[in-house]
Homo-oligomer: A and B are copies of this chain.
């Protein structure tokens, strides 16, 4: 069984490396895959979306996620197992919720805040090392969920609310979910939301962000437009996204999470 890691630890410090070392100490036979340590610091929703969208590509295993602005408070730490046989370990702040839903929903939840697997003394700031990594290592090595902590009603778990697209007359009103390292902005709409919008592959799109109007093309590939031109496209997670060919749409258009982006045929 493998363990995957997704955190906001970055690569300047040794936080991620220490988590690897702890897992190797507790369960030497377990393989660890770094999904990413580049989630923007404290951006729980971005982490939750990244974990959800990565899920179809991850071997069944123990998926650790740590984006944890409330570390050191009374926020709960949890381990979850789902209908698909996947396990999730992390803070109970919604970070795990979207992925757990996609994995069939939580069947068993355990409060691991005072897990017998934790490394004492537990620090106030580094639960990745002291709590999440050792619990995940034990679960990956075959330890029972029930031995990781105390039972918890799955209905009590924190969730995350995502914005949703809507139609306003002839306009599809969408919102930015997140922007990636290239400045491409993923929207809260997918192909299925386009029914009735009049937006058609290969046709120009009128994009309105704040008071600004931009021309884009709804296309399947960056290569269909000139460098510097804007496109609306289905991204690799099958969500609608806004980008500039060889440019940075987030910087150019001032796109950030929750920015409203209004789309209609041009």
B-contacting residues of A (Cβ < 8 Å)? Answer: 2, 4, 6, 10-14, 16-18, 20-22, 24-25, 28, 31, 33-38, 41-42, 50, 54, 57-59, 69-73, 123-126, 129-130, 180-182, 220-223, 233-236, 238, 246
Contact = CB atoms under 8 A, between A and B. Distances in A.
14 contacts: A13-B36, A14-B35, A17-B35, A17-B54, A18-B57, A21-B59, A28-B59, A41-B182, A57-B129, A73-B223, A123-B234, A123-B235, A125-B222, A125-B236
A16 to B, nearest CB: 8
B35 A72 contact: no
A221 B35 contact: no
A33 to B, nearest CB: 5
Nearest to A224: B72
Contacts of A129: 57, 236
Q: What is the oligomeric copy number?
A: 3
Contacts of A238: 123
Contacts of A233: 124-125
A2 to B, nearest CB: 6
A149 to B, nearest CB: 21
Given A14-B50, A124-B233, 15 more contacts: A12-B36, A13-B36, A17-B33, A17-B35, A17-B36, A21-B58, A25-B57, A25-B58, A28-B59, A42-B246, A72-B221, A72-B223, A73-B221, A125-B236, A126-B236
A33 B21 contact: yes
Contacts of A71: 221-223
